[in-house]
């Protein structure tokens, strides 16, 4: 079943196409992009095409191609839904390095948060992030995620040749409702 297209002020999240594979292969073979990703092994085109086919078929996998306001495909983002637990697990990669630091990461995360709580009625959205990925940790905290677990030396980083810690972070439905309420109150006061 096709997943709904999601839109923010600048960003559109659309279902991936198999023709997106070439860009994904470039991004996921770039050590500057993968330095803090779980996926660091060399990626072949045929494997990426198989991966995308599987993602598109999987009804619980909402993996999106990220398109900016100029119609440029700049990355991938999405989540895996665990229906029984009313829980979703988030991931994001802006593969185009020139597009980092423009606020897209925050907008994409906000679109996904809004969709999973408002439309899919989940109770919890969670993620894993490596501790040295300060930019990512910053945006997740800003969007309302809380650190609930810190695992020491959990993963060997093939790029930095060091063992990295990671954080498990989550935002619960009740956190989202509180944030939403705060934003509405702030708007009213202005």
Using CB under 6 A as the criterion, which residues of the chain lie in contact with ligand COA when the complex forms?
A: 33, 36-37, 75, 92-94, 100-106, 129, 133-136, 138-139, 142
Q: What is the DSSP letter of 84?
A: G
Q: Closer to ligand COA by CB, 16 or 46: give it.
A: 16
- Give least dist CB 159 to ligand COA, A: 12
Nearer to ligand COA, 87 or 95 (CB): 95
Least gap, CB of 1 to ligand COA (angstroms): 27
**Residue from 30, 29, 137, 15 nearest 77 by CA:** 15
Nearest distance from residue 83's CB to ligand COA, in Å? 23
Q: How far is CA 119 from CA 6, 84, 123, 163, 175, in A?
A: 11, 16, 12, 38, 16
* Beta carbons within 8 Å of 97's beta carbon, 6+ residues apart: 30, 32, 33
CB of 36 to ligand COA, least distance (A): 4
């Amino acid at each position: 079943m096709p997943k709904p297209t999601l839109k923010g002020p600048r960003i559109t999240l659309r279902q991936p196409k198999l023709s997106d594979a070439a860009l994904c292969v470039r991004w996921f073979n770039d050590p500057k992009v993968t330095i803090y990703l779980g996926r660091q092994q060399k990626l072949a085109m045929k494997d990426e095409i198989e991966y995308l086919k599987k993602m598109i078929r999987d009804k619980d996998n909402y993996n999106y191609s990220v398109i900016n306001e100029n119609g440029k495909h700049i990355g991938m983002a999405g989540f895996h839904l665990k229906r029984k637990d009313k829980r979703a697990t988030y991931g994001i990669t802006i593969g185009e390095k020139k597009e980092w630091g423009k606020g897209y990461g925050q907008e994409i995360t906000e679109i996904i948060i809004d969709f999973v709580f408002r439309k899919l009625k989940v109770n919890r959205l969670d993620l894993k992030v490596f501790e040295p990925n300060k930019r990512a940790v910053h945006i997740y905290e800003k969007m309302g995620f809380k650190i609930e677990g810190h695992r020491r030396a959990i993963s060997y980083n093939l790029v930095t040749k060091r063992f990295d810690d990671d954080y498990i972070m989550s935002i619960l439905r009740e956190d989202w409702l509180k944030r939403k309420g705060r934003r509405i109150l702030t708007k009213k006061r202005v």
